[in-house]
Structure 1
Amino acid sequence: MRFDGYAVLITGAGRGIGEATARRLASEGARVLLTDADGERAEKAAAALRADGLTAESATCDVGDRAAVEAATAHAADRFGRLDVLVNNAYSFHPDPDLLEDVRDEDWARDLDITLTGALRCARAAMPHLAAADGRGAIVNIGSVNGEQDFGAHAYSAAKAGLAGLTRTLAGHGAPRGVRANLIAPGTVATPTWTGREVSLQQAAAHYPLGRVGRPEDIAAAVAFLASADAAWITGVTLPVDGGILVGNVGLREALRGSAQPTCRIR
């Protein structure tokens, strides 16, 4: 029960990584506020946790709206009496057009506003509460391998790379105030956004050194570590949770070996 007595706010928690993270932290004793731009989805996820005897509430929160962010943060602090952990998971993603010159300003601006500036809004609102959390204050940002290496998606990748930089500056600012900030960079994770594209996931799995794509629970476990006292001397880092994709190129390796097909398969 590493999070007994902790209060946690998670953005983008209605499904996928955010929902899995809420369940993991709540299962270890945390009181969790699940927020999402889709309030009904957030409440459905929170209700499922409560049905299992866990402490969870929900709130509608569009991280693109400063007032909504501040209201959700205040709600968490008021309802739970404190706020110890912020998990910035909300993001926006627009697929690239075929040509760079067809990238729309509004799509670029939306991806950066939600993914990067949204995390700043949340950190700004939460920081006074985290700084008062008796040394337990922690921010865990959900980045992406797209912020570390080219996997396409201009705006999304730029936003995630910016989020890694923001994490480092938050770590420097927060350290004297007893607040740590770290980032997790997931690889491909089988979330509901892939519904209907399962074949693509299977194809992607063949390129991962560990032979499969990620599960939301893989990322939730890493969040639990970085948010806990087990990581009390870790701040400002980017932790890839990526099945080895940043350190291995299965396709090239197998080509050099003369194999027509990668040897890794989804498990």
Structure 2
Amino acid sequence: MRRFAHKVAFVTAAAQGIGQAVARRIAAEGGTVVVTDLRQEAVAALADELGAERALGLKADVTSRADIDAAVAAAVGRFGRLDLVVNNAGGCIVSSRPEDTSDEDWHRQLDVTLLSAARCIQAAIPHLVKTRGNVVTISSVNGIAAFGNVEYAAAKAGQIAMSQNYAARYGPLGVRFNVVAPGTVRTPVWDSQPGALEQLTSMYPLGRVGEPEDIAAAVAFLGSDDAAWITGHTLPVEGGVLTGPARPPVGDAAADRPAPAAAPTR
């Protein structure tokens, strides 16, 4: 499949995990990829892996409008166009009880997750209008249902609402906006919590947590012309967790086991 031949994608937080898998998937389908992250050496190595003629690694802080504007300008300056933006930056950075969360921590969470996506969209829009391109934002099941992590969930829900409104506003100009909402995905953020992913597995009807490649496949679909008549939608990629706790067939003694209370976060 070469759904991204002659197209240029811009991917944030691409040094590892989901962003890295997305970049690799788009490149494997013939696309040119601009990968950004605070970790310059990591994105430079990824660009080298993908091929210098069709990949560029840039250091960029998504909380800085100047950095994002410069990175988008560098992408267009190098490759002449922009067809796809993948807003992947974010994370659960507030760990206190929601009743105790300070205004400063609320601002930090919203800045890195919601406002970062807004900055990328604002910088990219003039170029996406020219190519009739599109934006795919990585949200979370936490933005759809109550799994905890209140501040993170609010920021992720904001991404969904923002994308819907942009879809209505820019649809007449041919620009699409969609969202992928992952459940728990096996990324390096879990490395500091041994055994956590194994515990969370029992929440998922499909019997496993997600892999970065699962999310990359969904992004590749929504970002390609295969989804040319899809805009303003959120695609949950979550192993069935939104349907409720995994329930073995009737007659299985395990069916009566209580569901775990842990909340899946990306």
Same fold (TM over 0.5): yes
Cα distance change, pair 77–54 in 1 and its aligned pair in 2 (3 A): closer
Q: Distance in 2 between matches of 1:160 and 1:109?
A: 14
CA distance in 1, matches of 2:120, 2:7: 18
CA distance in 2, matches of 1:241, 1:24: 16
Shift of residue 253, structure 1, vs aligned partner: 8.8
What 5-or-longer segments of structure 2 have no aligned partner?
A: 260-266
CA deviation after TM superposition for structure 1 residue 215, in Å: 0.2
Instruction: Give yes or no for contact 2:94–2:105 (8 Å, CA) kept in 1.
Output: no
Partner in structure 2 of residue 168 of structure 1: 164
- Output aligned runs, 1:40-119, within 5 Å: 40-50=41-51, 55-97=54-96, 99-119=97-117
Match of 2:181 among 157, 179, 185: 185
Moved more, 106-115 or 160-169: 106-115
Q: Does 1:219 align with 2:218?
A: no
Secondary structure at the counterpart of residue 181 of structure 1: strand
Query: Deviation at 1:198?
Result: 4.0
Bigger shift: residues 189-198 or 109-118: 189-198
Residue aligning to 1:10: 11
**Partners of 1:27 and 1:54 within 8 A in 2:** no
Paired position in structure 2 for 1:147: 143
Pair 1:22-2:18 in alignment:
no
> 1:107 Cα shift?
1.7
Which residue of 219, 227, 233 corresponds with 1:231? 227
Letter in structure 2 aligned against 1:163: Q
Q: Report the Cα distance in structure 2 between the residues aligned to 1:198 and 1:5, rounded to whole angstroms.
A: 42
CA contact (8 A) 1:38 1:60 kept: yes
- Indicate the SS of the match to 2:15: coil
Deviation at residue 117 of structure 1 after TM alignment: 0.8
Report deviation, 1:252.
10
Deviation string 1:61-96 (CA, Å, 9 cap, x unpaired) is: 111111111100001111111000000000142243
1:242 corresponds in structure 2 to: 238
- Give yes or no for contact 2:205–2:247 (8 Å, CA) kept in 1: no
Structure 2 letter corresponding to 1:126 = A
Unpaired stretches in structure 1, ≥5 consecutive residues? 263-267
Deviates more, 1:171-180 or 1:54-63: 54-63
Residue-by-residue CA offset, 1:134-180 (whole Å, 9 max, x unaligned): x3x01000000000011111111100000000010110112111100
CA distance in 1, matches of 2:152, 2:258: 30
Deviations 1:210-263 (A, max 9, x none): 00000000000000000000000000000000000001312699999753477x
Aligned residues: 257
Structure 1 residue identity aligned to 2:93? H
- The CA distance in 1 between the partners of 2:53 and 2:207, in whole Å, is 33
Q: Report the RMSD for the aligned CA atoms in angstroms.
A: 2.1
C-alpha distance in 1 between matches for 2:66 and 2:253: 55
- What letter matches 1:109 in structure 2? H
Question: Residue 15 of structure 1 contacts residue 45 of structure 1 at CA under 8 Å; is this kept in 2?
Answer: no
Give the CA deviation at 1:104.
2.4
In structure 1, C-alpha distance between the alignment counterparts of 2:104 and 2:187, rounded to whole Å: 26
1:39 Cα deviation from its structure 2 partner: 1.8
Distance in structure 1 (CA, Å) of the matches to 2:221 and 2:81: 20
- Say whether the 8 Å CA contact 2:248–2:255 is kept in structure 1: no
Structure 2 length-normalised TM:
0.91
1:61–1:69: 8 Å Cα contact kept in structure 2? yes
Question: What residue in structure 1 maps to residue 34 of structure 2?
Answer: 33
Residue 263 of structure 2: aligned partner: none
**1:207/1:174 Cα in 2 relative to 1: closer, same or farther (>3 Å)?**
same
2:25–2:217 contact (8 Å) kept in structure 1: yes
Which amino acid is 1:55 matched to? R
Instruction: Give me the whole-angstrom Cα distance separating, in 2, the residues matched to 1:85 and 1:192.
Output: 25
State the one-letter code of the partner of 2:158.
Answer: G
